[in-house]
Amino acid sequence: MLVDLHCHTLPLSACSALDPLELARLAAERGLGGICLTEHDRAWDADALDALRRAAPIAVFSAAELTTDLGHVLAFGLPAAAFSAEARELAAAAERHGALLYLAHPARDGLLRVTRETVEYFVSVEAANGSDSRLQNIAAAGLAKGFRLPGIGGSDAHTAAEVGRAATRFAAAVSSDGDLLDALRAGAYEAVLLDS
């Protein structure tokens, strides 16, 4: 199952031009089985998320892209009350809640901010980002090899043209946020760049 693990929508991500249902429809048209909403420093309201899931033609998951002192972090399974701009605090919260943290687009600015100590905060990195260059993705995929889990993939979509450029291929189908978290923990997936 192909899931785009990095998507942004209006109104929660002001930098996006994508309506959530439009995103789901475009992703389905482009062969994806699911999308993950990773709004910038925001979490979806449970009722709004349930309504979107009922209307969407594919699976819809929810996570967040958090801005921290070590860069952007994709957080899966972390409640909004535990969001933090301090990577150390975020890692402690992830440990308490059983959440997983991936460093987003780690080669984008050419400077990996993690050290030997802070690298432990993350289970892996985003190894394929549809908005990054070929060289940035090669560097990110190389970084992923040093982590506990494989790297993930996502389009980092903010516009219709960006939807489905990259995704994560799971060995088995996932249908809920709990399933997604279990599949990520199991490491039975791979980051893939897709034709745009």
Helices 20-29 and 46-55 meet at what angle, rounded to 10? 40
Contact 70, 113 (CB under 8 A): yes
Instruction: Quote the domain boundaries for residue 119.
Output: 2-193
pTM strictly above 0.85: yes
Cα–Cα distance, 8 to 157 (Å, whole number): 6
**Spatial distance between the Cα atoms of 126 and 21, rounded to a whole number of angstroms:** 24
Measured CA to CA, the distance from residue 9 to residue 23 in angstroms comes to 8
pLDDT one-digit tens code per residue, 5-59: 999 998 988 899 899 999 999 999 999 999 999 999 999 999 999 999 999 999 9
Q: Which residues of 147-186 are buried (b: 16+ CB within 10 A; e: fewer)?
A: bebbbbbbbbbbeeebbbbbbbebeeebeebebbbebbee
- pLDDT category of residue 196 using cuts at 50, 70 and 90: low
| CATH number of 50's domain | 3.20.20.140
Calpha distance 9→16 (Å, rounded): 5
Q: Cα(first)–Cα(last) distance of the chain, in Å?
A: 18
Region of poorest pLDDT, from 15-19, 108-112, 119-123 = 108-112
Measuring CA to CA, which residue among 118, 113, 144, 146 is closest to residue 129?
A: 144
Which tens digit of pLDDT belongs to each residue from 177-189? 999 999 999 999 9
Q: Tell me what pLDDT residue 112 has.
A: 66
What is the domain count for the chain? 1
pLDDT class of 73 with cuts at 50, 70, 90: very high
What is the pLDDT of the chain when averaged over all its residues? 94
Residue by residue, DSSP assigns 28-96 as: HHTT-SEEEEEEET----HHHHHHHHHH-SSEEEEEEEEEETTEEEEEES--GGG--SSHHHHHHHHHH
Asked if the model's pLDDT at residue 79 lies above 90, the reply is yes
Integer Cα distance of 49 and 55 in angstroms = 10
**What is the reported pLDDT for 121?**
96
| Spatial distance between the Cα atoms of 130 and 70, rounded to a whole number of angstroms | 21
